[in-house]
Structure 1
Amino acid sequence: MTTESSSGTDGRGVQEPARPTVITVGVPYLALLWCALLACLIGFSFTGSTDLASNIWPMALWTVIWNTVLYRVWRGGPMAIRAVALLTTVIPGMTMVVVVAMAILTRNSLGGQLFDDMPTWWWLLLAAYAGAFVIGIGLRRADVREWSAALHPPRTRAEAALRRSGGLRIGPPSPTAPFTPASGTDDANDRAADEADGRPAAAHHADARTSVADSAGPPREASFSVDLGEKLRGQAKFRIGCFGVFIAFFGIIAVVIGVETLRGDEDWVPAASFAALVLLLVAALVISVRRFGGRLGARSTLTIDRTGVTWQGGQDLASFSWNGLAGVGISYYMATTKNGKKMHMPQLDIYEQVSSPAGRWPELDRRRRQERPPEPQLPGELYRLMLPVDDQIHRMIEETVCAHRPALWLGWYERPRSDTPWFLR
């Protein structure tokens, strides 16, 4: 449900979508609820229940933070909306559950008079929390997500793919993240029209790539080369370093407990338990790093130019001519977590028209996969190269492929498995 009165234009003259009713009503309501809670605290200070002098600065700080977050919700900030939706469902929900549980558990000892003895301000607080709970549920609605997505264009190709996988319109392209027509437009309506005409989905994708090819004109002298291994190692070092600090923290605890045990002749079980945990974490880290290094190899250099796609890794120099390729695209995996959907590492998929025999490129064979292709005309065998989480590299791959053979560009699509090291997810 939306309200038409709040729509308008932004600074660029673009028509803004109508603000949902839950935003129009909910943001002022939550601001007033916060003011009411502050008024209660100030009122308690006059009765001696609380010390206003010691709470004035925390109250001022959290007031600024809360109103800043509410302003971001009013402006459609996706992170602010998720945070407020979580807070307004968890805190009021737990409060109401606790009150009801107390009433049930103590009804016999109080003669069933618990609710009768509750002061009026308790009832007002519960009613206010119930309203906040309803607003929190409303902030999780699909129309709120669509409104937020329309106001904030995706900054990266990965973010655009993530929004499309959730069925959201991605809005106009951001000036800092240009998109080709194949990957940057919302084509849900076109697909629906094709299905209504009896055309298969593959025909829609073929038409989209053909339109890109027609608009691109003759191939430009574009080329792109990047050492994927260096980029990936740089990102992995940061993640592994953070995990190493985590292990060191538990190691210090184990040492402290061990020293105290030696000095006081205490039980060795806590120290031994922490030591075993540290050894287990170290073993998991070492095994994961060795597997990652083996999969990445000594080097992983990707080159895309007018001749085709070339990958060099160790002793292998794999060259794929444009005429021998069936498609090139970037795949990703959508993992379901307690905080919603999360995208695992985007990776480059290379489809050949005729698969190369096994053993031709031994190191590249470790990157060979067998899985269902994104389009029915593609083979089920492909080569998958790990890509760093870097939108600049994603953009250059897309632009260079489209500059030479736009009909081969498959865009972004979801793959059936993660195929990503745990410390890079």
Structure 2
Amino acid sequence: HKKKAVIPIVLTIISVALSDWTANTFKHLVERIRPCHTLEGFRLLVGCTNSFSMPSNHAANSFAIILALSYMSGKWVRWMALTVAMLVGFSRVYIGVHYPSDVIVGALTGIAVSILVIKFYEWASVRYKSKPYNTALLISLLGLSLFRIYYITHGIIDLSPDEAHYWEWARRLDLSYYSKGPMIAYLIAFGTAIFGDNVFGIRIMAVVSSALSSIFLYLLGKKLFDERTGLAAAVLMQIIPLYSAYGVLFTIDSPFIFFWVLSLYLFYSAVGQQDRIQDTGCRMQDKKNRASCIMHRASPLWYWLLLGISIGFGLLTKYTMAFFYICALLFLLASKQHRRILLTKEPYISLALSLIIFSPVIIWNAAHDWVTLRHTAGQAHISGQWSVISDQWLKNFSEFLGSQIGVITPILFGMMFYAVFKLKT
């Protein structure tokens, strides 16, 4: 009985929130002036606001409440809610702040939103029984993404200097730029081409990148361990303070993290496909003898091709994506089970493809006196005179380590350290 009572209340809250947001969005698209500003000859019972008229938010929210609150409720609740909603709609016309058509459109908006919320709840309830972790991730990311979109469209945070800088790049597309690759400009140009030159158009790809990063991290965790681990990793990624900001503010780190996670997933999938057990008897042997049972066969080439594309796009986003090559190489060298993959052609095809995708940056720099290379070298202090083991290096490393602990939060950093220790043991 408690569950039966809570569900309509929760659905009502969600429906009203989405209905109010939708109605406000329509208002700014239609931009209809209220009758109290354009008509004369009637007496206003309330003040006339300066907001637009169509649709009526009061009507939208009232009729959204009808359907959501009536879900799993008795007839008397439905009739009472319908009566109140109709009175609210009538009052908006009577006091002169809305046209009748505003109320009708508002009512239809509220009904449509509420129906969508109810249908989604019914679909998710059925899906959750068979795929609980998958469904939980979907609902979490959908809710978080909608909140971020709302915050972007209604928040008070203006574009950061970096975002404004990248937006200027997006208005002047090129093969590359002075300090960064062109991917951030391409993504902003894509967003603004669809939604216009506004804050939402600039930042929408931050929301998309954040959601996709968690999806592929979930898939990777599922492959490595199980669905529960994948869900935990995906959710933890979203609650890290700095990464939460990357879901709203669109800098190079948002797509860079996505391409890194995607590359991890594709690399593991490619290696997993290429690594085959010759027969089921190998599964029963000890680690020493099991290695001799491994048969390395050519994996489907498309895994490696997708990996090359992902790394290439990552390089176009942030040059530190090149460290993925080093990480992958060290893994293959350190793993006796996978070392022979280096003798196959697929990894090198993937490498070549990523460099081909990255080639526009090389072409642009060749035409501009390698300015990015000199800039990056200066940023990394490669041109400096201090030694690798100098006090300055130790100071920089200490600051870097401290900042990483702060960004991840000490609690999650401790959990990561504990997890690495447990995996080793």
TM above 0.5, one fold? no
TM-score normalised over the length of structure 1? 0.25
Larger RCO (CA within 8 A; separation ≥ 6): 1
Q: Pick the structure with more strand per residue.
A: 1
Q: Pick the structure with more helix per residue.
A: 2
